[in-house]
Amino acid sequence: MKKTLLTCLICASLLSLCSCSGNSPVQTAGSSSEAQNDNGIEQVTLKVWAEEAAFDTMNEMIESFKEAHRGEAEFNITIEQNLDSKTKDVILGDVHNGADVFPLPDDQLSAMAAAGVLSAIPNQEEVSAANTAESVAAASINGVMYAYPMTADNGYFLYYNKKFLNESDVSSLERILEVCEEKNKEFSMEFNSGWYMYSFFGNTGLELGLNDDGVTNYCTWNSTDNSIKGADVVNRMMELTSSPAFVNRADGDLPAALASGKVIAAISGVWNSTDVEKAFGSDYGACKLPTYQVAGKQVQMASFTGFKMMGVNYYSEHLEWAHKLADWFTNEQNQTLSFEKRNIGPANKNAAASDAVSKVAAIQAVIAQSEYGKLQRVGNKFWTPCVEFADNILAGNPSHLSAQKMADNLVKEITASVID
C-alpha cells in the first residue's frame, strides 16, 4: 500500500513538473536553523552521502571548502556511506533524515524531483556554462536544473586486447566473435541486463522511452513496420549469443575472468578500467562499441549514456550552505581532483579538455560511444522483462517461441501499468 501511495505521489508531482515552464521562478529556499556559537558565528551542520571509495577525495574537498569559507560559519560536515544507486530509494524512505548533499545517477533525477526532495540550483546559468551540454540536459527537467553535474563517464564501451584484435577487427561484433572462436577466447558482456541489452535495439529505429506520466514506458521493439523489424533483432541476438565465444557474464565478475586470460574483448565501463589494464598490459585497448549485422544492414551498437550529479535536499536546515557545498564538490577544481585521484571522467568543460583526460583510453571511449548513446529514461517495468527475455535467448529458446512472439511478450511487459 505504501508503495502504491508513493507511486501516486510521484505521478501527481510529475504532472506538476511537466506543466511548469523552464522560465518560471524556482523556489530554492527551505527552512534554516541559524544556531550561533559564542562568537556570533553561524553553526552549520551538514550530512553528505558518498560511496566508501570516494571518502578520501570527498574529505579533501570538504577541508578545502572549510578553508575557502573560513570565518563565515562554523562547520560540522560529516560523510555517511550510501550507494549512489540506492540514493533515490533511501532518501524517499526518510527525506527529513536524509543527507543534505548527495550524489545520484541521472536516471533517478525525475522521480526525486517529482517527489519534491531536490532543491533546484540557484546559479543555473553559471553551472550550465561550466559543464557540457549533455550533462546539463541530464540534470534538468523542463529547463530547470535540479542537480550539479559531476561526472560524464557513466556509460559503457568496448575493451579489447590488441595482442589478438586490431582496430579493424573491433569495428564489428561478428569479426570479434570470429577471432575469439579462432583463438579459443571469450567475448564478455552482461547480456541479461536491460542496461547492456539495449545496445542491440538502440540504433535500429525501434523506440524505447518514458511516457509523460514519468512512470510507464513506451516501446516499439516488436514493430513489424520498421525497416529493421523487432523480430529481425531478436533472431540476430539468438544467432550471435549461440557463438561459443559469446559469454554472458555479470559485470562484477569480469575482473576475475580477465585475470584468467580467457577474455580478450568485453563490454563494460570505466569502473573496470584498472582491472582491464592490469590484465591486458601494454596491449590494453578501448573504443566505441562495434557494429553488428541485422536485416542486411550493419548497425552501430547503441548504449545508455549516463551522468552522475550532486543533489541538494529540499528540506535541508542549511539550504544555502548545502548548495554552496554541492557547487564546491562539482566545480572545475574538484572535478579535476576526482579525475586525478579516482580516474573519474569530468563533466566540467575545462577539466574534460585537459591533456591528462585526453590520454585516458577508457574516458575517450566513453566520449566516442556517447555519439551513439541515449540518456537512460525508463520506468521500473523495463528491467525484469529484459532479464527474462535475455535468459530465454541464452537458454536457446526452450519453448520454441517465434521471434515475433518473443518480442511481443517483451514489449507487453515493458509497457505494462505500474499497478499490474
3 state SS for the chain: CHHHHHHHHHHHHHHHHHCCCCCCCCCCCCCECCCECCCCCEEEEEEEEECHHHHHHHHHHHHHHHHHCCCCCEEEEEEEECCHHHHHHHHHHCHHHCCCEEEEEHHHHHHHHHCCCECCCCCHHHHHHHECHHHHHHCEECCEECCEEEECCCCCEEEEECCCCCCCHHHEHHHHHHHHHHHCCEEEECCCCHHHHHHHHCCCCCCEEECCCCCCEEECCCCCCCCCCHHHHHHHHHHHHCCCCEEECCHHHHHHHHHHCCEEEEEECHHHHHHHHHHHHHHEEEECCCEEEECCEEEECCEEECCEEEEEECCCCEHHHHHHHHHHHCCHHHHHHHHHHHCCCECEHHHHCCHHHHCCHHHHHHHHHHCCEEECCCCHHHHHHHHHHHHHHHCCCCCCCCHHHHHHHHHHHHCCCCCC
- Per-residue confidence (pLDDT) for residue 34, from 0 to 100: 59
d(CA 134, CA 121): 17
Residue 36 has a pLDDT of: 63
| 157-305+379-414, CATH topology level | D-Maltodextrin-Binding Protein; domain 2 (3.40.190)
CB 313 within 8 A of CB 100: yes
β-strand partners of 293: 298
The reported pLDDT for the residue numbered 420 is 63
Q: Among 341, 378, 339, 354, which Cα is nearest to 153's?
A: 339
CA distance 86 to 94: 13
Please say whether the dihedral angle defined by the alpha carbons of residues 269, 274, 277 and 278, taken in this order, is positive or negative. negative
φ, ψ for residue 121 (rounded to 5)? -75, 140
Per-residue pLDDT of the chain (420 residues; tens, 9 = 90+): 333 334 444 444 444 454 443 333 344 444 444 566 656 789 999 999 999 999 999 999 999 999 999 999 999 999 999 999 999 999 999 999 999 999 999 999 988 999 999 999 999 999 999 999 999 999 999 999 999 999 999 899 999 999 999 999 999 999 999 999 999 999 999 999 999 999 999 999 999 999 988 889 999 999 999 999 999 999 999 999 999 999 999 999 999 999 999 999 999 999 899 999 999 999 999 999 999 999 999 999 999 999 999 999 999 999 999 999 999 999 999 999 999 999 899 999 999 999 999 999 999 999 999 999 999 999 989 999 999 999 999 999 999 999 999 999 999 999 999 876
Domain ranges of the chain: 33-153+306-363, 157-305+379-414
Residue 246: the pLDDT is: 99
Strand partners, 268: 157
Separation CA 238–CA 62 (nearest Å): 51
With b for 16 or more beta-carbon neighbours within 10 A and e for fewer, the 373-395 pattern comes to bebbbbbebbeebbeebbebbbe
- Closest-CA residue to 91 (of 367, 369, 271, 314): 314
Q: Which residue has the cell 517527489?
A: 115
Domain with residues 33-153+306-363, CATH architecture: 3-Layer(aba) Sandwich (3.40)
